[in-house]
Chains A and B, each alone.
Chain A
């Protein structure tokens, strides 16, 4: 079955520790994204990548890092510089298609990773 797989489902981080969240997709989508969700708030974009070996900062990139070495994979590292990392993290992917003016991107999401601080 095609889809987006996030792992682990739950993750705990100690003070000063870096942790990496995995995201894999077999939908052959070009673009991948990481969002952060806090209770009662909408989704905020951390990083996105439109193509392999290229990625862009979103609205809240500080304290996070990503890589895009393969089309299928877009791991997110939450570094020790992120002082408030507790949140639900969502990975998404999309087909980038159409012309610049008429393009539309339907985002498809993974099932999320809940990160908590010990």
Chain B
């Protein structure tokens, strides 16, 4: 099965810094989703994107649906310790099609 390429795989940042991560695919998607997973828990949906070029914010998080429909970006501003976790992107190509997940970006915040 296909998996999305997500980068970076992991990152250490200082508290207060901004963070950027991205996800690329060889296929076009109609929907992009960004999730955060805490250790030993299920992923929680952060942002959903439905239209090419769309820019959506959720608090300190901002995500964009790439114009080519083959990529998406997530930015976190002014990071705090509770931002620690694994961030997954996911793409879905159309109705009743399964969701494909990225390999995850592990974020660690240094206080």
- A-side interface residues toward B, CB under 8 Å? 4, 6, 33, 35, 40-45, 48, 50, 58-60, 88, 90, 92, 96, 98-112, 114
Contact = CB atoms under 8 A, between A and B. Distances in A.
A43 B96 CA distance: 18
Interface of B: 1, 3-4, 6, 9, 30-31, 33, 35, 40-45, 48, 50, 88, 90, 92, 94-96, 98-99, 101-104
18 contacts: A40-B9, A40-B103, A40-B104, A42-B4, A42-B6, A42-B104, A43-B101, A44-B1, A45-B99, A90-B42, A90-B43, A104-B48, A106-B33, A106-B45, A107-B33, A108-B45, A111-B42, A114-B40
What DSSP secondary structure best describes chain A's contact surface?
A: loop
A68 to B, nearest CB: 16
B104 to A, nearest CB: 6
Contacts of B30: 101-104
Contacts of B104: 40-42
